[in-house]
Amino acid sequence: MSTRKIELFVGMFLLAGIAAFLVLVFKVANIEVQSADSRYQLTARFDNVGGLKVRSPVKVGGVVVGRVMDIHLDPDRQEPVVTISIDRKYSFPETSSLAILTSGLLGEQFLGLTPGFVDDDIAMLDDGDRIDDTRSALVLEDLIGQFLYSVSNKDE
Amino acid sequence: MAVADGVQLLGRRTLKAISGLGRAGLMLWGAIVRQPNFKKGLPLLLKQIYVVGVQSMVIILVSGLFIGMVLALQGYNVLVEFGTEESLGPMVALALMRELGPVVTALLFAGRAGSALTAELGLMKSSEQLSSLEMMAIDPLKQVVAPRFWAGVISMPLLALMFTAVGIYGGHLVGVEWKGIDSGAFWSILQASVEWRQDIVNCIIKSGVFAFVVTWIALYRGYHVVPNPEGISKATTQTVVQASLAVLALDFLLTAMMFAR
């Protein structure tokens, strides 16, 4: 077999490998190629973050507008603080609220953002701002506990 | 007396194993570390990538397709009982990326290319081609072993990536085209659960490690063959057996390091 043919096949082999890599990266992992300045970060305090994870989506009416970047415990107030980054395309007034919701009964947890009202003296949220109006995760075990407690109280 | 013989046998086996490891290490050192010559090596490397990589492509692609299809079929039968057949995508993709892609590629590679490398090198040695190279002041480690080694190390991660990509499309074929899962749900749930660093980079690292070990074993077995027909057949068998066992054991170690939390 001539050298040219071999080199041709090897070139095709390498291209096929790179193509497979690109398919995995862009079609399967779907990594977002976005610079840092196309997003802005907000923080929010919760009483309980439940099963929320880093990279969980932030949704407005079911549309993903951002992701959870970091979850840590505020050492002074002993409360979880969630940092989220939102796409610059979207802006929300500072009266907006965040709630931790579950997709389906047993599904993954995500952050639901409800945009608030806009008025003359209401500013828009920007990088580093904090959302104060938050609702914590519904923990199924706590609910069952409360339910059992109320049922057993009724019997007496 | 019998006890002493037993102890002596144990000692001899151990020394043999250690000296074998030493010779394998020296061979690798001589082949890839000592003064590499890129200009002369490149045409040889291309030839070997053709033999080792391109010619293994068909078996890798066909097995990838079928393994993806089988995974999807079996996964579907279980998932449909819970009404979560949409999760078929991540199941197939994660199984392929984290385990089956690198491991099955390495096992196929050991059978398809590793045994061929051993047999080729073994025959070169027993027909004294390696010694004649040395007579002409050509280092057989540089001329024969090094290009084959690098060809294996370069080819196998590429093959593993192809295997995985084709396997996912095989899963798509069964799940979406045959079983009627919604195509959008298949891809979106898959994309939500596969992560670039955790899954794809680890897949490449794994197959790189497997490539190193499988090619090294194959070349060592061929280079230090007992130069007769029986020796070559034994060396070829040993390549496949040892490479497969090494791959499976290393896979457990790597998985424990990468995915244990």
Domain that holds residue A23: 1-31
Is A138 found in the same domain as A62?
yes
- Give the number of domains in chain B: 1
- Report pLDDT for B250: 93
**3-class secondary-structure state, position A63:** strand
Is A63 found in the same domain as A10?
no
Q: How large is the average pLDDT for residues A21-47?
A: 77
C-alpha distance from A110 to closest chain B C-alpha (Å): 12
Task: Indicate whether B162 pLDDT > 90.
Answer: yes
C-alpha distance from B22 to closest chain A C-alpha (Å): 34
How many other CB atoms are there within 10 angstroms of residue A135's CB atom? 14
Is A107 found in the same domain as A42?
yes
CB–CB contact B194 A28 (8 Å): yes
Is A45 found in the same domain as A95?
yes
State the residue for tokens 């690109």: A22
Is A127 found in the same domain as A51?
yes
State the residue for tokens 């047999």: B119
CB–CB contact B54 A17 (8 Å): no
Task: Indicate whether B28 pLDDT > 70.
Answer: yes
Calpha distance A110→A138 (Å, rounded): 12
pTM of the full predicted structure?
0.74
- Listed as own residue / partner, the contacts of A113-120 with beta carbons closer than 8 Å and 24 or more positions apart are A113/A58, A113/A59, A113/A60, A113/A65, A114/A60, A115/A60, A116/A92, A117/A93, A118/A93
Which H, E and C letters describe B78-116, residue by residue? HHHHHCCHHHHHHHHHHHHHHHHHHHHHHHHHHHHHHHH
Instruction: Give, rounded to a whole angstrom, the gap between the first and last alpha carbons of chain A.
Output: 92
Is A122 found in the same domain as A53?
yes
Residue A20 counted as domain residue: yes
Is A55 found in the same domain as A16?
no
Binned at pLDDT 50, 70 and 90, residue A32 comes out as low
Binned at pLDDT 50, 70 and 90, residue A30 comes out as low
Domain that holds residue B114: 2-259
Is A79 found in the same domain as A17?
no
State the residue for tokens 């001329």: B143
Is A68 found in the same domain as A133?
yes
Residue A151 counted as domain residue: no
Residue A139 counted as domain residue: yes
Q: Does B91 touch chain A (CB under 8 A)?
A: no
**3-class secondary-structure state, position A56:** coil
In this predicted model, which residue has the larger pLDDT, B162 or B187? Answer: B162
Residue A73 counted as domain residue: yes
Strand partners, A70: A83
Is A23 found in the same domain as A55?
no
CB–CB contact A29 B57 (8 Å): no
Is A63 found in the same domain as A24?
no
C-alpha distance from A103 to closest chain B C-alpha (Å): 13
Task: Indicate whether A105 pLDDT > 70.
Answer: no
Interface of A with B in 117-146 (CB under 8 A): none
- Report pLDDT for B115: 93
- Give the number of domains in chain A: 2
Q: What is the ipTM of this complex?
A: 0.73
Interface of B with A in 201-240 (CB under 8 A): 203
Interface of B with A in 100-159 (CB under 8 A): 155, 157-159
Residue A154 counted as domain residue: no
Task: Indicate whether B129 pLDDT > 60.
Answer: yes
State the residue for tokens 């791959």: B247
CB pairs under 8 A between A and B: 69
- Report pLDDT for B213: 94
Chain A residues close to B165, C-beta within 8 Å: 19-20, 23-24, 28
C-alpha distance from A5 to closest chain B C-alpha (Å): 10
Give the one of A10, A24, A28 whose C-beta lies nearest to B49's C-beta. Answer: A10
Angle, nearest 10°, between helix axes B115-126 and B202-223? 20
Chain A residues close to B43, C-beta within 8 Å: 3
Binned at pLDDT 50, 70 and 90, residue A31 comes out as low
Give the one of B54, B97, B161 whose C-beta lies nearest to A10's C-beta. Answer: B54
Is A47 found in the same domain as A3?
no
CB–CB contact A29 B191 (8 Å): yes
Give the one of B43, B155, B164 whose C-beta lies nearest to A24's C-beta. Answer: B164
What percent of chain B has pLDDT above 90?
Answer: 48
Calpha distance B185→A122 (Å, rounded): 39
